[in-house]
Amino acid sequence: MPICTSIPVCPPTRDEYYRLDRLVTGFAYGIHNGIGKLLDESVYQVELARRCLRDGIPATREMRITVSHGCFSRDYFIDLLLASGVVVETKTVQHLLPQHRSQVLHYLFLTSLPHATMLNFRTPRVQHEYVSTTHTYASRHVLKVHAERWKCLCPNMVGIEGILIDLIEDWGACLDISLYRDAAVHILNGSLQEPQSVDIAADGVVIGHHKMHLLAEGIGFVLTSTKGTTQTESHLLRLLAHTNLQAIAWANLHQTSIHFVTLQRPCS
């Protein structure tokens, strides 16, 4: 199986999710009031799980999800899974940020669960957020491929295109973009796992370096997940103009659409 969980997962009904969310949030407030906001995240996880189990709610800490494709494999761990279907992520940060929500959505997509709860214990009062998605396993596997501007300049460009499509068809879309990137370069060629240092120059003077995967000499590879591609393309062209690269092979995966674009240095 391309995505496996260490225990069976079963989506709860909407009412059951909100019932469990109310209970675990109440436990979180009690823990926060009792031991404060300054402890390590693992302490809150352990105590949340203990209180859930004490009250008869099945609770699994660090539930493992294994994502694999061919020779590539990666493990993820959910902080707390209640009743085999409610994801609870605990944080000890100043504020919950978009990347925290993205992480939880990633877990929902991997497990095909609709709802999750985030709890932040570092704030003066426990910060609580719902995270939900309407995407299903089926909807994430309807992929639209746009390759009208894709010009294969080397064999690895053909390879990376096919691998990315295979990964999305296998795992579904909407996952953390770094997972697709790391898997693609690993499967294509192990030597591509480490990005290379590319010189950045201005007025003929090297002013710094930028890490980038290279598909061949002079051809960089960039995978993004932006909603609008115009601004990203503009910045990639500026980056290209300040390197000695011939081209950038760019793929942008947003939701269930992937665009393949070859950006080349203008002919002089």
CATH number of the domain that residue 20 is part of: 3.40.1350
For residues 20 and 100, state if they share a domain.
Answer: yes
For residues 153 and 230, state if they share a domain.
Answer: yes
- Kindly tell me the burial class for residue 66, based on how many C-beta atoms sit within 10 Å of its own C-beta (0-12, 13-18, 19 or more): middle
pTM (two decimals): 0.93
Q: How many CB atoms lie within 10 A of CB 181?
A: 22
For residues 7 and 126, state if they share a domain.
Answer: yes
At residue 266 the predicted structure's pLDDT band, cuts being 50, 70 and 90, is confident
| Bridge partner residues of 250 (DSSP) | 222, 261
- Sign of the four-CA dihedral 48, 49, 53, 57: positive
For residues 98 and 176, state if they share a domain.
Answer: no
Question: Looking at per-residue confidence, does 157 or 228 come out higher?
Answer: 157
For residues 154 and 123, state if they share a domain.
Answer: no
Choose the final residue of a domain: 97, 132, 167. 132
For residues 13 and 109, state if they share a domain.
Answer: yes
pLDDT of residue 268: 55
pLDDT at 157 over 90: yes
For residues 206 and 112, state if they share a domain.
Answer: no
Choose the final residue of a domain: 87, 116, 132. 132
Q: How many CB atoms lie within 10 A of CB 192?
A: 19
Q: What is the mean pLDDT of the chain?
A: 95
For residues 163 and 223, state if they share a domain.
Answer: yes
pLDDT tens digits, one per residue of 65-93: 999 999 999 999 999 999 999 999 999 99
At residue 190 the predicted structure's pLDDT band, cuts being 50, 70 and 90, is low
For residues 107 and 211, state if they share a domain.
Answer: no
For residues 86 and 203, state if they share a domain.
Answer: no
Domains in the chain: how many in total?
2
Tally DSSP H helices, then E strands, for the chain. Answer: 6, 12
pLDDT of residue 99: 95
- Sign of the four-CA dihedral 104, 105, 108, 109: negative
For residues 113 and 147, state if they share a domain.
Answer: no
3-state SS track over 71-129: CEEEEEEEEEEECCCEEEEEECCCCCCHHHHHHHHHHHHHHCCCEEEEEECCCCCCEEE
> How far is residue 62's CA from residue 41's CA, in Å, rounded to a whole number?
12
Give the residue numbers spanning the domain of 207: 139-264
